[in-house]
Amino acid sequence: MEKDDVMWIETNLKISFYQPDKLERGAWFVNSLYPGTNREFVELWELDEDIPESGYEDFTRINGYPVEILLTIEKQNPDEPDDIIVFAEDFGWMYDTEEELMELITIKHINNIIQNYGGKVFLLIDESYYNDEEEIVPERESNLIILTYPFEEEYEEEFED
């Protein structure tokens, strides 16, 4: 990817629950697998059929409410809430820095980010806005943002400290 005036910044992928009026195919839910053990991890899954209104209450009692994903940047002060940079509807592309390929983001990518990178993911932004006004303006392709997995050397340094 050859673009001038762009840079990658580290962001946090967060999960937020919401309560819709109805449960439709394509909604994402979260499972906590092996809770309370050293193998515990979170996995998102996608609803493959609409849930009738009559089954809404039973379904949410068993599976919880759906989730949406968003990207945030942590504030310097841990008492302040993170800044939300991007909401789920803007997620679009996953860029492979080694292969120099982009593919549409799937739930598989999101699970990989959560499970293997602790929710850390890099967002491609317009460097000129960031440097001049400290404003984060995501770079877009077909009106969707571009993400990549953490760069190996940065990820390894974090866990060596």
Model's pTM, two decimal places?
0.81
* Mean pLDDT in residue range 119-144: 83
Alpha helical stretches, state H, the chain: 56-63, 107-117, 127-133, 152-160
The average pLDDT across 138-152 equals 87
> How does residue 159 score in pLDDT terms, banded at 50, 70 and 90?
very low
Indicate if the pLDDT at residue 1 is higher than 70: no
Cβ neighbours around 8 below 10 Å, total: 20
Distance (Å, whole) CA 116 – CA 3: 28
Please tell me what DSSP assigns to residue 87: E
Q: Which of 106, 120, 119 is nearest to 10 (CA)?
A: 120
Average pLDDT over residues 26-51: 90
First to last CA, the chain: 31
Encoded tokens for 137: 């303006």
Q: What share of the chain is helix, strand, coil (3-state, %, to 5)?
A: 25, 40, 35
Q: Is the pLDDT of residue 118 over 50?
A: yes
